[in-house]
């Protein structure tokens, strides 16, 4: 027995003339939600389609539970219907002339499941998704959020072990999306499923997932818990993708163990080395917006900077300072007068790439 529900090893996919996935490996444990994150065109949909059996990889292997569903070396290729998977596509379409019930039941009918069993399975999944009362409605009589749940119901009615979701919340507006991602996470846990969920929104990935996998150009750039991805990025790409940052360009002036001094025109800061840099190298310093602090007295890594704007955000204020021609943004609890302020950029949180 193993706890691994989905295992992808060294997967390569070519579409047309393009080598799209270049050796992707990932594992999803039982009950785990993995968010697949990455810029547009990085290969997220292609990876889900290959797992589902809709694209034929050129190399690698895929296992769902105990079943090897693809293996290039052993020439194993299990068809789409025989993989214990549910799939909600990026642009899911409900059948407009069928009711909610019929939309969900359709696939079971095709598979010649007995009518009584279909009725029970459809009703169970509709109840689980809070759609129990809406079975007789047509899609145009539902809200966007309800339609999205029907699409989900359609894939869950097969009782899959693993569900693949491609931007499942992209049709919802921002407010609904924030509620839906919590609801979806709780549903996946309640049904004891494992899930791979594509999103290009890093906040959504962190809120929903146990593990985040960041794809770039068909290769996994980094994978880890949301905390590791946000707090311990291994490259500038990951640091920039995972949060709201200030980036400052400078030159490495001195090395000091895990730290280094970076300098620019009229400023110098201490930061933590996050890649191998030498004295004299051009480097990029990155700090999350929420790490910037205003301090009353001079101290290490506190710069005296002019405040160029103070923006009211409702729950907080955003400050924009000028640091040698680039803007440095931070948050605080009150309006700040224009003029110069002492701004601390803690060395621990200033990452040097
Ligand atoms: N049938 C195809 N033939 C050739 N190239 C394709 C095909 N389908 C997709 N591609 C290319 O493969 C790359 C990855 O596409 P994919 O749809 O997997 O990206 P994605 O990460 O899902 O992006 P998005 O966030 O925009 O949905 C893109 O460069 C795309 O143009
Ligand atoms: Mg896509």
277-290 confidence digits (pLDDT tens): 999 999 999 999 99
Ligand nearest the Cα of residue 46 is: 1
Q: Is the dihedral of CA 236, 250, 256, 281 positive or negative?
A: positive
Ligand 1 centroid distance, CA of 239 (Å):
24
Q: How far, in Å, CA of 178 to CA of 196, rounded?
A: 18
Q: Which of the residue ranges 3-7, 80-84, 224-228, 243-247 would you say has the lowest mean pLDDT?
A: 80-84
Residue nearest (by alpha carbon) to ligand 1 atom 8: 15
Q: Which of the residue ranges 86-90, 109-113, 251-255 would you say has the lowest mean pLDDT?
A: 86-90
In Å, how far from its chain's centre is CA 269?
32
Question: CATH second-level architecture of 4-238?
Answer: 3-Layer(aba) Sandwich (3.40)
DSSP 266: T
State yes or no: pLDDT of 253 exceeds 90: yes
Cβ of 38 below 6 Å from ligand 1: yes
The model's confidence at residue 351, banded by pLDDT at 50, 70 and 90, is very high
Q: What confidence tens digit (pLDDT) does each residue in 21-32 have?
A: 999 999 999 999
Return the exposure string of 156-171: e unless at least 16 CB atoms fall within 10 Å of the residue's CB, then b.
bbbebbbbbbbbbbbb
Cβ of 137 below 6 Å from ligand 1: no
Average pLDDT over residues 259-273: 97
Ligand nearest the Cα of residue 43 is: 1
Contact 188, 154 (CB under 8 A): no
**pLDDT at 84 (0 to 100):** 86
Q: How far, in Å, CA of 194 to CA of 161, rounded?
A: 6
Q: What confidence tens digit (pLDDT) does each residue in 295-310 have?
A: 999 999 999 999 999 9
And the tokens for 229? 């991805």
Contact 107, 125 (CB under 8 A): no
Q: What confidence tens digit (pLDDT) does each residue in 324-350 have?
A: 999 999 999 999 999 999 999 999 999
Q: Which of the residue ranges 20-34, 69-83, 172-186 would you say has the lowest mean pLDDT?
A: 172-186
- The chain-wide mean pLDDT, for the chain, equals 94
- CA distances 149 to 12, 189, 191, 255, 302, Å, are 32, 16, 15, 54, 50
Cβ of 40 below 6 Å from ligand 1: yes
Cβ of 43 below 6 Å from ligand 1: yes
Ligand nearest the Cα of residue 89 is: 2
Mutate to test the pocket of ligand 1, among 37, 43, 200 (most ligand atoms within 8 A of CB): 43
State yes or no: pLDDT of 1 exceeds 80: no
**pLDDT at 2 (0 to 100):** 61
Q: How far, in Å, CA of 179 to CA of 174, rounded?
A: 9
Cβ of 49 below 6 Å from ligand 1: no
3-state percent helix, strand, coil for the chain, nearest multiple of 5: 25, 40, 35
Neighbours of 97 (CB within 10 A): 10
Cβ of 18 below 6 Å from ligand 1: yes
**pLDDT at 148 (0 to 100):** 87
Contact 76, 70 (CB under 8 A): yes
pTM of the full structure:
0.90
Contact 297, 304 (CB under 8 A): no
Q: How far, in Å, CA of 146 to CA of 131, rounded?
A: 8
Ligand 1 centroid distance, CA of 307 (Å):
43
Ligand nearest the Cα of residue 200 is: 1
Q: How far, in Å, CA of 327 to CA of 307, rounded?
A: 10
Strand partners, 166: 198
Ligand 1 centroid distance, CA of 14 (Å):
11
Residue nearest (by alpha carbon) to ligand 1 atom 27: 40
E strand or H helix at 202, and its extent? Answer: helix 202-208
Ligand 2 centroid distance, CA of 11 (Å):
17
Look at residue 272 and give its three-state secondary structure: strand
**pLDDT at 206 (0 to 100):** 94
Q: Where are the domains of the chain?
A: 4-238, 244-352
């Amino acid at each position: 027995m193993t706890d691994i529900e989905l295992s992808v090893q060294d997967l390569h996919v070519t579409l047309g003339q393009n080598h799209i996935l270049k050796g992707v490996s990932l594992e999803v444990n039982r009950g785990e939600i993995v968010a697949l994150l990455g810029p547009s065109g990085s290969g997220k949909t292609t990876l889900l389609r290959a797992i589902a059996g809709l694209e034929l990889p050129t190399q690698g292997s895929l296992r769902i539970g105990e079943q090897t569903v693809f293996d290039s070396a052993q020439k194993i290729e299990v068809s789409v219907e025989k993989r214990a998977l549910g799939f909600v596509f990026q642009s899911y379409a409900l059948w407009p002339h069928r009711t909610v019930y019929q939309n969900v039941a359709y696939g079971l009918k095709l598979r010649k499941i007995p009518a009584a069993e279909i009725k029970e399975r459809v009703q169970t999944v509709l109840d689980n998704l809070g759609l129990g009362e809406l079975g007789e409605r047509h899609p145009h009589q539902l809200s966007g959020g309800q339609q999205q749940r029907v699409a989900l119901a359609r894939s869950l009615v097969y009782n899959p072990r693993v569900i693949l979701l491609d931007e499942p919340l992209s049709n919802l507006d921002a407010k609904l999306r924030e509620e839906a991602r919590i609801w979806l996470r709780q549903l996946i846990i309640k049904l004891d499923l494992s899930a791979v969920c594509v999103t290009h929104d890093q906040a959504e990935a962190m809120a929903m997932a146990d593990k985040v996998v960041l794809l770039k150009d068909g290769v996994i750039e980094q994978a880890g818990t949301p905390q590791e991805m946000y707090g311990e990025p291994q490259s500038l790409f990951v640091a920039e993708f995972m949060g709201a940052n200030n980036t400052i360009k400078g030159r490495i002036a001195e090395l000091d163990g895990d730290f280094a001094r970076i300098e620019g025109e009229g400023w110098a800061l201490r930061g933590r080395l996050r890649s191998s840099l030498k004295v004299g190298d051009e480097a990029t310093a990155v700090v999350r917006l929420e790490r910037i602090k205003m301090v009353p007295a001079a101290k290490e890594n506190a710069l005296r900077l002019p405040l160029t704007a103070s923006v009211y955000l409702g729950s907080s204020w955003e400050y924009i300072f000028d640091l040698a021609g680039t803007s440095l943004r931070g948050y605080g609890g009150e309006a700040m007068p224009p003029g110069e302020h002492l701004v601390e950029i803690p060395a621990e949180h200033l990452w040097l790439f």
